Amino acid sequence: MLKILIADESREFRKFIRRVSEAEQDLEVTGEAISRPELLTLARHLKPDVALVDIASSGMGGLEGQEE
């Protein structure tokens, strides 16, 4: 099972990714974040295999999303 964390301001995008993952047996969305602090907190707690992060999102900073 591949655990996915979604980080995007768009509720519609997060819902779309969740629906796609529900159609696949080996994918599971374990969390959703709408801000960088929330992304970092959830990533530490949930330890996903993959994080889908919007790199163009205001306040998200996808490429700078790692802890400093």
Contacts of 17 (CB under 8 A, 6+ apart): 4, 6, 29, 52
Give the pLDDT score at 54: 84
Contact 26, 2 (CB under 8 A): yes
Which domains are seen in the chain, by residue range?
A: 2-61 (3.40.50.2300)
Run means of pLDDT, 10 residues per run, the chain, 68 residues = 95 95 95 92 97 76 51
Contact 55, 62 (CB under 8 A): yes
